Amino acid sequence: FGKLQATGNQRLSTRRLLKIAGYPEGQKFNPEDLETVRKRLRRSGIFSAITLVEAETLNPDNSMDVALTVVEQKPRRIGAAFELSTTDGGMVSAYWLHRNLLGGGERFRVDAEVSDVNANSDGLDYSFGMRLERPATLHPDITGYADLELDRDSEPEYYEKGASFALGFNYIRSERLTADIALKFDYAKINYGTGYFDFSIIALPASVTWDRRDNIYNAKKGFWLSGELTPFIGVNDTGSGTQVIGEGRIYRSVMKDEKLTFAGRARLGTVIGPDILDVTPDYLFFEGGGGSVRGHSYESLGFDVPIEGTDYEAYVGGQSTVNINLEARYQVRPKIGAVFFVDAAQIWDEGAWQGNTLWEAGTGVGVRYDTPIGPIRLDVGTPINPRDDDASRFQLYLGLGQAF
């Protein structure tokens, strides 16, 4: 590799452009390394077009220069979304994005959301977030970031106000292997009906993801693995300990043209160290709903834990959990598929999967309609173990992409 001759950048400085590209000047030529440069520039989100052209003649030292031409996207973007639920009311969200905030490829995004508008039993929920990312921090494949989140959650069982701030690094080893580590401060103020409980922690969350699926939107074969380890120190009366989460997904297809696909997901987690009421609620594990057990309501599986010195109980998630999802996906026509699924989850009120336990399971069928950005998903679920307080025997889920 000889020199990289870069042109076309207007708002982004050339120095930062070369940092983001991570061009291997002086190293032995390899076409795959040139493709890696292209991928780094593309995932920065700054450019609408990227062209790399090899020189037709070599330099006297037998090196080959490369010409890079880029076209920058418009720096700002806005977006909005809405959602309507018969039980949870309406949700409205919006974001504002700047792709090159300080001229070095920094990506700045502001998000805001209001939900549970005219909900049956909840008050309004609010969330606000800001995130600043800087590509090529320390290394071309490392993105540094600062993240701030504020939220208010008003549920029938509890009221929560929270804030978190994190400084971290995201490492993209390849498109299939990524890692993340951060230093994070979390604060939550919870009212279970007896007054406020304060939770403050300093945490060091770290995660690794290995993706070997053949298609991230509609996998037919392969697997996906993720592991998270979050040691945390509690401030004042908040407990200290470690949260561990692991998740695996596997896909296998049979029949001609892979018409029938069996998909499975297993997720487990636990918090080791403090008692359940000494753990910040966001680190506990609720189950139920579209992300865990279809057929049951959102966060329907949790514990009512007596609050010492009162006649009240706190509704909290489990301190340990296991969640399993199984699907059989059949391609009826080129763009239409049918799905049969079974979901189940179990939670414990102590760490390391000890103590009292609760479980729930659901089953159902669904339809998929393939689009270029993934299948449109419609599922209808019903509880296998219905409870007297279930709002409905059927739950309807509509979304984009497979359930997992």
* Predicted local confidence at residue 176, as pLDDT: 93
The alpha carbon dihedral of 176, 177, 183, 187 has a sign of positive
Q: Which regions of 334-394 does DSSP assign to beta strands (E)? A: 336-350, 354-369, 376-383
**CA–CA gap between residue 4 and residue 68 (Å, rounded):** 7
Share of the chain above pLDDT 70, in %: 98
pLDDT band at 69 (very low <50, low <70, confident <90, very high): very high
In this prediction, residue 390 carries a pLDDT of 64
Q: Of 187 and 194, which is predicted with more confidence?
A: 187
pLDDT: which is higher, 252 or 196: 252
- Hey, which residues does 336 pair with through a beta bridge? 333, 369
The span from the CA of 137 to the CA of 357, in Å, is 45
| Backbone phi and psi for residue 225, each to the nearest 5 degrees, phi listed first | -130, 140
% of residues, the chain, pLDDT over 90: 77
Q: What is the pLDDT of residues 264-282, one digit of tens each?
A: 999 999 999 999 999 988 8
Q: 63-67, 158-162, 222-226: which has the minimum mean pLDDT?
A: 158-162
**Band of residue 87 on the pLDDT scale cut at 50, 70, 90:** low
**Residue 193 above 90 pLDDT?**
no
CA distances to 244, 361, 377, 380 from 348, rounded to whole Å, are 14, 15, 31, 28
Model confidence at 357, pLDDT cuts 50, 70, 90, reads very high
CA distance 18 to 140: 9
Note the pLDDT tens digit of each residue in 247-262.
999 999 999 889 999 9
Distance CA 160, CA 123 (A): 11
pLDDT of residue 202: 97
Question: Would strands 313-316 and 303-306 be described as parallel, antiparallel, or unpaired?
Answer: antiparallel
The tens digit of pLDDT for each residue in 131-172 reads 999 999 999 999 999 999 999 988 777 888 999 999 999 999
Q: In this model, does residue 321 exceed pLDDT 70?
A: yes
Q: Per-residue pLDDT for 120 more than 70?
A: no
Q: What is the mean pLDDT of the chain?
A: 92
pLDDT, average across residues 160-187: 96
Instruction: Judge whether residue 391 has pLDDT over 70.
Output: no
- The alpha-carbon radius of gyration of the chain (Å, integer) is 24
Q: How far apart are CA 346 and CA 323, in angstroms?
A: 7
Give me the pLDDT at residue 211, please. Answer: 97
Question: Would you place residue 119 in the very low, low, confident or very high pLDDT band (cuts 50, 70, 90)?
Answer: low
Residue type, 79: G
Task: Find residue 323's DSSP bridge partners.
Answer: 267, 345
Spatial strand order in the sheet of 4-7: 4-7, 66-72, 47-54
With a cut of 70, say whether residue 70 has pLDDT above it.
Answer: yes
Residue 316 has what pLDDT?
A: 92
Is residue 316 a contact partner of residue 284, using CB atoms and an 8 Å limit? yes
Q: Mean pLDDT, to the nearest integer, of 10-19?
A: 94
